[in-house]
Amino acid sequence: MSSTKPLLVVLGATGKQGGSVLAYFLSLSPSPYALRALTRDTSSARAVLLASQGVEVLSGDFDNPQSLDAAFNGASVIFSVTDFWQSMLNPSLREKASSSGVNIGIYSRDYEAQQNKNIIDAAAKVSTLERFIYSSLANTSKLSRGKYVHVYHCDSKAIAEEYGKSTYPKLWEKTNVFYAGFYLENYVGDARALFCPALVCHFKVSFRPPLC
């Protein structure tokens, strides 16, 4: 992609986080960055819309390090976010977890952690990179001293964050770690049954998994 502007590569470009990053820079006139979007499905309605707005849209496979090398080529800034729930609800991965006798939560935790390690490995090789922004969550198992060990969607990102910090200190010197707050849309969307708190008695509220 030929451009005199620095290149911003956004992962999860059609999701809430990645999509909001692109929406912000698209709202600027002119945008200070050339924009490249990575998404699983370049034919989706959101991906097609991004392409129509002048964003370079590429298919990103977090399981394929070679594809990430190509996607990150020439990047000045990378915004990285992965989706635990896409893995958790994937029928193929659930079948693999079942056949291996591993709890699907643990399997998805380790799967997403490896995806993020692949991303970090690829980012560390980009000679043009000036800033790496890694969307993470707190290591709930560690912070609770083993009290909450089933918050897999937090621990998966934290495991890779710790890997990046210890393995690539030079990369981490130009890394910002971003902790997103809880999406309020979760209380009203399709997954509200998973997240919405329940009143179990007066003055007592119970949170369903995966928040507890």
- Where along the chain do its domains lie? 7-181
139 vs 80 pLDDT, higher one: 80
Question: What does the alpha-carbon distance between residue 104 and residue 73 come to, in Å, rounded to a whole number?
Answer: 34
What does pLDDT average to over the chain? Answer: 90
> Max alpha carbon distance in the chain (Å)?
62
Supply the pTM of this predicted model.
0.86
Predicted confidence at residue 212, as pLDDT, reads 41
Q: What mean pLDDT is predicted for residues 12-21?
A: 94
Per-residue pLDDT at 167 exceeds 50? yes
Under the banding of pLDDT at 50, 70 and 90, the label for residue 196 is: low
pLDDT category, 181, cuts 50, 70, 90?
A: confident
Please say whether the beta carbons of 40 and 82 come within 8 A.
no
* Domain 7-181, second-level architecture: 3-Layer(aba) Sandwich (3.40)
3-state secondary structure of 80: strand
Lowest-pLDDT range of 6-20, 109-123, 174-188: 174-188
Distance CA 134, CA 61 (A): 17
Cα–Cα distance, 69 to 22 (Å, whole number): 21
| pLDDT bucket at 103, cuts 50 / 70 / 90 | very high
Rounded to 5 degrees, φ, ψ at 56 are: -75, 120
Bridge partners, 58 (sequence order): 38
Q: What share of the chain is helix, strand, coil (3-state, %, to 5)?
A: 45, 15, 40
Does position 46 have pLDDT exceeding 70, yes or no? yes
Residue in the block written with tokens 């994937």: 90
Range picked from 39-48, 121-130, 134-143 for highest mean pLDDT: 121-130
Q: State how far the Cα of 20 lies from the Cα of 14, in Å rounded to an integer.
A: 9
pLDDT in tens, 107-122: 999 999 999 999 999 9
CA distances to 11, 34, 207 from 17, in Å: 9, 18, 24
Q: Which amino acid is at 51?
A: A
Which pLDDT belongs to residue 205?
Answer: 56
| pLDDT reported for residue 159 | 97
